[in-house]
């Protein structure tokens, strides 16, 4: 179980990452800076002066000068849209990024963006390890940043450039110190996973609001169900357009499966096959219940044993 005391102790033990550059001052970049500012020298870079001003208003060190930000840093974190990473890494190297600096990103797509980065990474000899902290919100911008954003979050890490074990351990320790649970997998497996658990649900939320509100007047009678199931449809359209397009190869199969499931439900309703419809709804409820329990167990410090009793009932034993 992650605790703030454990994170602080872990951060103090972190060696070799005393100076950290964060390129991109949005929700994730700002939250990282807030979480790290008491334990390291943290610098934020943003291309827009207005974003720099917002970071400074939070008490953070920020600049539009890439050279000032990347000079002599131990860790560089790319917190920009995946399509901008390659050119920004080149700019950072030209601005004086040390060859010894460990580089990572927080992008939610790995395979195609990292393929684009390969030439830059290989030619420069920089150590690049992919990171995806599964933390965020439909509300973007540094104004929504918070130091606790990464507490209890999963962080998927990729090492498709075969960086050494010690460097991998350093970066894993970094994320664990922020409260993340780290997991390693290939970029391709990462993209398939997030297509199912993140990108497809985002699309489904948009479909839900599109179908649920064919007339804006319906909103006056809509309740929490429609609001809650479509929450992530409120995410930034430009950011999500890029994410979905970059991960299209992994997302398309989830859409085809959704179409198959909708066709199945349509047949049950058209043919009044109530028993099969009931079985289908029971299966989906059990999957949802399992998800809720998984999250509950993960987020609570107590040891819990869970036994399924049937008929949607569960027995919880604490010890």
Packing angle, helices 248-270 and 237-246, rounded to 10: 100
**Local structure of residue 180 (DSSP, 8 states):** P
- Distance CA(74)–CA(39), nearest Å, equals 14
Assess contact for 97 and 72: CB atoms under 8 A: no
The pLDDT of residue 143 is 86
- Distance CA(130)–CA(118), nearest Å, equals 12
**Please, what are the domains in the chain?**
4-185 (3.40.50.720), 191-318 (1.10.3660.10)
- Distance CA(265)–CA(251), nearest Å, equals 21
- Distance CA(156)–CA(198), nearest Å, equals 13
Nearest to 60 by CA among 104, 25, 27: 25
DSSP-H helix ranges across 180-304 = 187-194, 200-212, 224-229, 237-246, 248-270, 274-299
Q: What is the pLDDT of residues 98-127, one digit of tens each?
A: 999 999 999 999 999 999 999 999 999 999
- Distance CA(191)–CA(134), nearest Å, equals 13
- Distance CA(31)–CA(136), nearest Å, equals 9
Q: What is the pLDDT of residues 134-171, one digit of tens each?
A: 987 777 788 889 999 999 999 999 999 999 999 999 99
Backbone angles phi, psi at 136, to 5 degrees: 160, -165
Q: What is the pLDDT of residues 172-216, one digit of tens each?
A: 999 999 999 999 999 999 999 999 999 999 999 999 999 999 999
């Amino acid at each position: 179980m992650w605790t703030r005391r454990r994170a602080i102790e872990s951060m103090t033990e972190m060696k070799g990452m005393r100076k950290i550059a964060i390129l991109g001052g949005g929700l994730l970049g700002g939250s990282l800076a807030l979480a790290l500012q008491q334990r390291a020298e943290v610098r934020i870079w943003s291309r827009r002066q207005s974003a720099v001003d917002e970071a400074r208003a939070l008490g953070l060190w920020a600049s539009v000068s890439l050279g000032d930000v990347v000079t002599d840093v131990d860790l560089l974190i790319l917190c920009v849209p995946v399509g901008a990473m390659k050119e920004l890494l080149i700019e950072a190297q030209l601005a004086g990024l040390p060859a010894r600096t460990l580089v990572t990103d927080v992008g939610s797509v790995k395979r195609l963006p990292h393929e684009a980065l390969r030439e830059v990474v290989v030619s420069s000899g920089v150590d690049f390890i992919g990171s995806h902290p599964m933390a965020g919100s439909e509300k973007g911008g540094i104004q929504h940043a918070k130091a606790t954003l990464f507490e209890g979050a999963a962080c998927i890490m990729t090492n498709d450039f075969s960086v050494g074990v010690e460097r991998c351990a350093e970066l894993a320790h970094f994320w664990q110190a922020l409260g993340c649970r780290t997991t390693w997998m290939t970029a391709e497996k990462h993209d398939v996973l997030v297509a199912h658990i993140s990108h497809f649900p985002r699309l489904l939320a948009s479909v839900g609001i599109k179908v649920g509100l064919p007339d804006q007047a319906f909103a006056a009678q809509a309740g929490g169900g429609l609001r809650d199931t479509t929450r992530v449809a409120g995410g930034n359209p430009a950011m999500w357009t890029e994410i979905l397009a970059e991960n299209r190869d992994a997302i398309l199969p989830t859409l085809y499966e959704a179409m198959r499931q909708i066709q199945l439900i349509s047949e049950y309703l058209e043919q009044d096959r109530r028993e099969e419809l009931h079985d289908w709804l029971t299966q989906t409820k059990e999957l949802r219940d399992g998800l809720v329990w998984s999250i509950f167990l993960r987020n609570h410090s107590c040891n819990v044993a869970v036994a399924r009793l049937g008929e949607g009932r569960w027995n919880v034993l604490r010890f």
